Every structure is written in C-alpha cells, then in structure tokens.
Amino acid sequence: MEKQWQIWAFSDALQNRWTGYYAKFLALILLYGATVHVGNMFGLTGTPWQSTPLLWQGMDIVLLVFNGVTAIALWRGIDWSIPLTFGGIILLQFLPYTLWRSYFILRPEDADTLNGLLGTEALLLAIFGVLLWQRK
C-alpha cells in the first residue's frame, strides 16, 4: 500500500534538477499572478475593483490565495504543491473561464485576454507534466 502511495508522492520529481528549477519558475509566475490580483483589488490595473462584477471580485480573492499558497509550496518543493498546481489551475481557471466564459467578458478584447491566459497556462502545465512524467 505504501508503494502505491509513493506513486503520487512527488518529492523525488521535485528533487530532479530541471523539474525543481521549473517548479521555482512556476512559483514566480504564480507570484506574479498574485500581484496582478492585488493590483486589481487596489484598482491599479485599469478598472476600479468596486465597479467590477462580484464574481470577478470573488475570483480575485480566491486566486490571490491560491497563487500565494501554491507559489510558496512550489518554491519550497513540497509534495502536495504539484497536485495543488494542476488541480487549482484546472478548477479555478480552466473551468470558470470556459464554462462561464460570458461572465468574464465585458469587452471584446477580454476574450483575447482569456484565450491567451488559458493557452499560456495549458503550455505551462504541459511542460510541467512532461518533466514529471520523465521523472517517473
């Protein structure tokens, strides 16, 4: 039973030099994302936060916490940071930005922004997945 659980333990993968470097790179990207959400909340990114839809405000808060916790965990090489990264990005960004896409598009250029964000995140997760798979 313990052997099966170790399949899901990612500490060995994070000890691999390139996977560890990439985890730190992702941590920096997530930290940047956290600063964007803080900027949104303080109205530094264009639209005053109070005038954005309540859903956007809620997502800013949730994603700020997710990005901060995940960035720290990835940087420190904690095992659960890997499923947190994949699960969080899928549940907190891919699902909302595809299933409820219309709620996040107020202007035509918002669609391009969402497409770019989702494409970038898919690429980042794919590279991380390949690095993790290579380690198994």
Task: Please give the single-letter amino acid code of residue 114.
Answer: L
Per-residue pLDDT, averaged over 106-118, amounts to 92
Confidence of residue 7 (pLDDT cuts 50, 70, 90): very low
Enclosing domain of residue 76: 2-135
Buried b / exposed e over 52-86, threshold 16 CB at 10 Å, is beeebeebbeebbebbbebbebbbebbeebbebbe
Per-residue pLDDT, averaged over 112-127, amounts to 96
Confidence of residue 1 (pLDDT cuts 50, 70, 90): very low
Domain count, the chain: 1
Average pLDDT, the chain: 90
Question: According to the model, what pLDDT value does residue 50 have?
Answer: 92
Per-residue pLDDT, averaged over 27-51, amounts to 93
pTM (predicted TM-score): 0.88
